[in-house]
Amino acid sequence: MLSLSKSRLILSLPLGIVLMRNLQKWMTDYWVNSATPEIKKSAFVLVRRMLSMGVLVLLVGLSLSYDSAFLDSPGYKNSLRPGLGSGDTTLAVLTEWSFRSVARWQPVSEWMHHHVLRDFAFGRPGRPG
């Protein structure tokens, strides 16, 4: 196990911050002074695509990483899964993904509904929810 003393941590943290700041300043100066607009645009597109793919992989990975009591039950494994898989593969994949992702994203969804949407009631006006 790696042990760091408090003095090493206190000394290495500002040193790392200073080095990162100087590297950032050097990269910014180089970028502003030497890069052409075409290079900047192509680099921006590349970084944007990489970030989009990274976010997509992260969200799909988080959604699939949760266990579902329903999907792990013998009833689903023995009865429903074989029928779904043979009937429509896309439906089978989406069913498993949705059951796994509901438990993962429900707390986030509830928080967003409460704080961002301020418990807005979706439905027709004049009718209860």
- Tens of pLDDT, residue by residue over 67-114, are 788 888 899 889 888 888 788 888 888 888 888 888 788 888 888 888
Rounded CA separation 63/101 (Å): 4
Give the predicted TM-score (pTM) of the model.
0.47
Domain residue spans of the chain: 8-55, 66-119
Predicted confidence at residue 27, as pLDDT, reads 67
Does residue 64 register a pLDDT over 80? no
* In contact, 100 and 75? CB cutoff 8 Å: no
Mean of pLDDT over the chain:
76
Q: Are 63 and 100 in contact (CB under 8 A)?
A: yes
